[in-house]
Amino acid sequence: MTFCSSLRRRPSCGRLVAAIVADESRLGLKENSLQTHDLQIPLSRNDHLSILIVSPDGMSSSREASTIIRIERLAALTGCAHTLIVFLFPAIDVHARAPAANALSALQLRLCMLALNVPAVVLDSPEKLGALVTQYRESRRQNGPKPQVLDRLDLVRSCTMAPPMSDAALLRLTEAYPSFADMACMGADPRAKTTLEMTGMDEAEAEGMLAFWKEEWAVG
C-alpha cells in the first residue's frame, strides 16, 4: 500500500497515519507523493484501488469546495472504477459525532447531486483500515459484495434536525420532493412548509426538515 506523504500534514489524519505505520508489515507500506488521491492499494498486476480520505472538517464551509473538486478530478481520471472515499468518523469523541454526521450527510448529498458513482464508506476507527482493505480485496476475489455503502434513503432519513425521520415522514418527503436537488432548495422556498403539510406530514416534522436545510444549505 502507498500512502501520500501529505497525510502527515493533515491534523485530522494523525491517528490514521499512526495506524498505517503500526500496521506496516501487513499493509506493505510505502510512502510517496500521490497527486490525486491519498492511498493506493494494489489489487492485481494491472489494477489498484485509489482512496480519498475525507474528514468532517473537509466538508466545512471553507473546505467543502476543494474536497468536492478533488473527488470530481479523481472520478474523471478513473471513471469511478476502483475508487473509494473513506470518511473518518470520530466514534470516540461523543461531542464530535453530531457535526460529523452532518458532514457525512453533506458529502453523500453532494455525491448524489453530482451523480458521482464513487462509494463512500465510514471508518470509525483508524485501526480498522487494514481490515477494510482486506475486505475489499476479498470481495473482488470472490466477486461478492463491496464494502457497505450508505443507501440513498438512509441519507435522506438524516436530513432533519432530529434524525432519523420516521418512515411516514420519509414517504411524504419523497412524494413532495422526489430528488436531492429539490430537497436542497427547501430552505429557500417560502412555500415548503405548506407543501410538506399538504402531504399529511406532522407540523413538527416539517419544521425539523426545513430547519435542517436552512442551516446546512441555504445560501445568501
| CATH code given to domain 2-142 | 3.40.50.10130
Q: Which residues of 162-183 are buried (b: 16+ CB within 10 A; e: fewer)?
A: eeebeeebbebbbebbeebeeb
- 3-class SS letters over 160-174: CCCCCCCHHHHHHHH
Q: Which among 114, 49, 53, 55 is positioned nearest to 78, based on CA atoms?
A: 49
What pLDDT, on the 0 to 100 scale, is given for residue 54?
A: 93
Maximum distance among all alpha carbons in the chain? Answer: 60
Give, as one character, the DSSP assignment of residue 82: T
Tell me the backbone φ, ψ of residue 27, rounded to 5 degrees: -85, -15
What pLDDT, on the 0 to 100 scale, is given for residue 143?
A: 56
Q: How many Cα neighbours within 13 Å face the side chain of 39?
A: 26
- Domain residue ranges of the chain, discontinuous segments joined by +: 2-142, 152-216
Grid cell, residue 30, equals: 510505502
Q: Per-residue confidence of the chain (220 residues) as pLDDT tens digits? A: 787 878 888 888 888 888 877 766 566 667 777 878 888 888 777 778 888 999 998 998 888 999 999 898 888 888 777 888 999 887 667 677 888 888 888 898 888 877 778 888 888 888 888 788 778 777 766 654 454 444 556 677 778 888 888 878 888 887 788 766 677 777 778 898 898 888 888 888 888 888 887 776 544 3
